[in-house]
Amino acid sequence: MKAIYKKELRSYFTSFLGYLFIAFLLVFVGVFQYRYNLKAGFANFAYAIDGTATLFLFLVPMLTMRILAEEKRQRTDQLIYTSPVSVERVVLGKYLALVTVFAIAVAIICFYPPVLKRYGATNYKVAYTTLAAFFLLGCTYMAIGMFVSALTESQVFAAVVTFIVILFTLMIDMLVMMLPSGHVLALIVLIALALVISVITYVMMKSKIVTGLFAVVSIAGLSIAYAINPLSFDGSLAKVFGWLSVQSRFSLFRYGIVDISSYVYFVSMCVLFVFLTVQAIKKRRWEA
Amino acid sequence: MIKVEHLVKQYGEFRAVDDLSFTVEKGEILGFLGPNGAGKSTTMNMITGYNSATEGDVTINGFNVYDEPEKAKRCIGYLPEIPPVYPDMRVKEYLRFCTELKEIPKKQRAAEVDRVMELLHVTHMQNKLIKHLSKGYRQRVGLAQALVGNPEVLILDEPTVGLDPMQITWMRELIRSLGKEHTIILSSHILFEVNAVCDRVLIINHGKKIVIDTPDNIIRTLGGTSGVRIAVRASEEDFRAAVATLPNIARVEVLPENVGEGITTYGVYSSDGAELRDRLFALCAARGFVLYELNSIQKTLEDVFIEMTGKGDTV
């Protein structure tokens, strides 16, 4: 694991990618800090971080797109997966290298609030809890980006899909508002969703039995639940999509609300996607 | 040392490897032969634990590749078809990474890197970026990687592909000398190479084992009828009539070789594998045919290979 971690980390700093990522992040935090804290005169440093979080859209794919896709394309995965290092340790090593690059940037940002404090009433608690959430949010997106990279040989594909996924999480709150709240439509959308998930499972697992079983059980379950109490479907779409809303859990922090459950949510998402990455690689080795 | 039992790889409907079993003893070089797409690389990927098998087992040094992957993989050095090198790394840096990846103790790493670089003659290239190396040098770095940690088993997938003739000879020498201490599986579709380097040969086609034996035995047992090439000053009529008096002659054919005016070259094949040369000599002497050339037709591994893999295709 250490070998992979060291190699990854070195590759970020021998190519300009790592520097570019850190530089971009710092420049944008600087720009937003200038805009909100210095120009507009808000003492809340969280605003600056909040604005920067949107830029994960570009920054995360830049860093994660090649992480596993490139190994496959240049066939170096044959070296890694035939060495006495387990897939779990390989993935963890790579993920920790990503997190380290990001952590370096965040560590530098940690010096901003004290600077700001000299000129105004900056609340450290709000600043640093937001920064912690910002860090975990970034780690979540990176885990997602790494997972996408594990699915393909093409860096471009990995970058585009990661971009779309992050864009989706940014827009989801807006999309949820546009969703119908009526129970009939909710049922239809949920069934459609179940079918979409079935198709994805089929593509992933190539098993007609599992796919069929999942589709039948989920659609039957939804129909029965609807038959028993149709009103329970009111607003259910918002709830379901709300689980996916990574960004909304982050935006609470700027108001000084320290929501521990959000931290837990982010960490669980990281663990989930690291786990999924390991599974994706194992599955690929089973098929290929 | 290497034990492969009932190995199967299934891709949907297609069986890339079909019930393959064989063993390789310690210190043996096994040549793995088959036409393109026969399942050589697939089998090697399964032996090294890169891919999983649909069915069957691989045991390296007593460790099952799927049950105890870390222990088994520690015994294997693998050079895949495309050398698994990072273009943006320097040669030394890359090999250093390999020593770390293969968990060589920290103190021995520098010496190990030097050792493999020396062995593969890449020491003078150590500070070059791998992407600036020629195909031949990349192949060498790839093999150096496989030798890191001096694993007992080496799996080499077409190690001489893309090398120039000088490098090929050198590479073969190296593999032969490595064979003294290592157990090696070497895949190739160049028959001469396998014949020159390997102790035993495994021929596969369409994922199925066709034969495993020493090159000589394969040629002998599967070579079919034995034949003699003879050049005499005699008309075809006279010669055929004379040969017809000999027992157990399978066939006589005229070979398209021009030895001289009035001289014809024939291929004569016996049906029982008996030595024909003394009989033919006596025959020519008795009939007064002037004999210009007489030698037995050596079947090469190449003939056997074409014969056997060709048969597989028509089925």
Q: What is the pLDDT of residue B312?
A: 46
Q: Which residue has the tokens 């690389």?
A: B41
Nearest to A82 among B52, B78, B87 (CB): B78
Interhelix angle for A124-150 vs A155-178, to 10°? 120
Q: Which residue has the tokens 């075809």?
A: B236
Q: If contacts are CB pairs under 8 Å, which of residues 129-148 in chain B contact chain A?
A: 145
Written as six digits, the tokens of A283 are 């599955």
Q: Give the Cα separation of B176 and B155 in Å (integer).
A: 14
Q: What is the mean pLDDT of chain A?
A: 88
Q: Give the Cα separation of B17 and B54 in Å (integer).
A: 9
In chain A, what residues touch B97 (CB-CB under 8 Å)?
3, 6-7
Q: What is the pLDDT of residue B315?
A: 36
- B156 neighbors B185 (Cβ within 8 angstroms): yes
Nearest to A15 among B69, B82, B88 (CB): B88
**Cβ neighbours, 10 Å, residue B290:** 11
Written as six digits, the tokens of B54 are 């649909």
- B299 neighbors B223 (Cβ within 8 angstroms): yes
Is ipTM strictly over 0.95? no
Which stretch of A26-35, A150-159, A241-250, B205-214 has the lowest confidence by average pLDDT? A241-250
Nearest to A84 among B45, B73, B88 (CB): B73
Burial label, B297 (beta-carbon count in 10 A; 0-12, 13-18, 19+) = middle
Q: Which residue has the tokens 């293969």?
A: B102
Q: What order of strands is seen across the sheet that includes strand B249-260?
A: B249-260, B263-270, B227-233, B290-297
Q: For chain A, where are the alpha helices, taking DSSP H only?
A: 2-14, 17-32, 46-53, 56-64, 69-73, 77-80, 87-109, 112-117, 124-150, 155-178, 183-205, 208-228, 236-244, 246-251, 260-287
Nearest-neighbour CA in chain A from B84: distance (Å)? 4
In chain B, what residues touch A76 (CB-CB under 8 Å)?
84-86
Interstrand relation of B2-11 and B55-60 (parallel, antiparallel or unpaired): antiparallel
Which pLDDT tens digits describe chain B residue by residue (315 residues)? 899 999 999 888 888 999 999 999 998 999 998 888 888 999 999 999 999 899 999 999 999 998 899 999 999 999 999 999 999 999 999 999 999 999 999 999 999 999 999 999 999 999 999 999 998 899 999 999 999 999 999 999 999 887 888 888 898 899 999 998 999 999 987 777 888 889 999 988 888 888 898 888 877 776 555 688 899 988 888 889 888 888 888 788 888 877 778 888 888 887 776 778 888 899 899 988 999 888 887 666 777 777 777 654 443
A207 contact B CB<8A: no
Helix (H) or strand (E) holding B103: none
Q: What is the pLDDT of residue B85?
A: 95
Contact A74 B87 (CB under 8 A): yes
Interhelix angle for A56-64 vs A124-150, to 10°? 50
Q: Minimal Cα distance from A286: which residue of B?
A: B52
Residues 6 or more apart from B72 whose CB is under 8 A from it? B49, B58, B59, B60, B61, B63, B64, B65
> pLDDT class for A185, splitting at 50, 70, 90?
confident
Interstrand relation of B153-157 and B76-79 (parallel, antiparallel or unpaired): parallel
Q: Minimal Cα distance from B84: which residue of A?
A: A76
Mean pLDDT of A253-257: 83
Q: What is the pLDDT of residue A221?
A: 87
Contact B88 A3 (CB under 8 A): no
Q: What is the pLDDT of residue B155?
A: 95
Q: Which residue has the tokens 């690059």?
A: A101
Write out pLDDT tens, residues A31-53: 998 888 888 888 888 888 888 88
Evaluate the CA torsion angle B158, B39, A80, A94 in order and state its sign: positive
pLDDT of A132 > 90? The answer is: yes
Q: Give the Cα separation of A16 and A25 in Å (integer).
A: 14
Write out pLDDT tens, residues A81-101: 999 999 999 999 999 999 999
Written as six digits, the tokens of B294 are 């007489």
> pLDDT class for A209, splitting at 50, 70, 90?
confident
| Chain A with chain B: Cβ pairs closer than 8 A | 72
Q: Give the Cα separation of B243 and B246 in Å (integer).
A: 5
Q: Give the Cα separation of B297 and B268 in Å (integer).
A: 9
A6 contact B CB<8A: yes
Nearest-neighbour CA in chain B from A211: distance (Å)? 17
Which one, of A67, A220, A42, A87, lies nearest residue A150 by Cα?
Answer: A67
Contact A80 B87 (CB under 8 A): no
- A61 neighbors A146 (Cβ within 8 angstroms): no
pLDDT of A259 > 90? The answer is: no
The DSSP annotation for B162-204 comes to T--HHHHHHHHHHHHHHTTTSEEEEEES-HHHHHHH-SEEEEE
Burial label, B244 (beta-carbon count in 10 A; 0-12, 13-18, 19+) = exposed
Q: What is the pLDDT of residue A242?
A: 75
Written as six digits, the tokens of A49 are 């971080």
Specify the higher pLDDT residue, A184 or B104: B104
Q: What is the pLDDT of residue B225?
A: 56
Residues 6 or more apart from B234 whose CB is under 8 A from it? B242, B264, B284, B287, B289, B290
Written as six digits, the tokens of A219 are 């659609």
Q: For chain B, where are the alpha helices, taking DSSP H only?
A: 40-47, 69-74, 91-101, 109-119, 135-147, 165-178, 191-197, 215-222, 236-244, 277-287, 301-314
B11 contact A CB<8A: yes
Q: Give the Cα separation of B213 and B304 in Å (integer).
A: 13
Contact B88 A11 (CB under 8 A): yes
Q: What order of strands is seen across the sheet that includes strand B2-11?
A: B14-24, B2-11, B55-60, B63-64
Q: Give the Cα separation of B113 and B91 in Å (integer).
A: 10
pLDDT of A271 > 90? The answer is: yes
Contact B50 A82 (CB under 8 A): yes
Nearest to B52 among A4, A6, A286 (CB): A286
- B255 neighbors B266 (Cβ within 8 angstroms): yes
pLDDT of A138 > 80? The answer is: yes
- Best interface-test mutation with A: which of B10, B50, B71, B145 has the largest number of A CBs within 10 A? B50
Q: What is the pLDDT of residue A25?
A: 93
Written as six digits, the tokens of A280 are 């994706």
Residues 6 or more apart from A110 whose CB is under 8 A from it? A128, A131
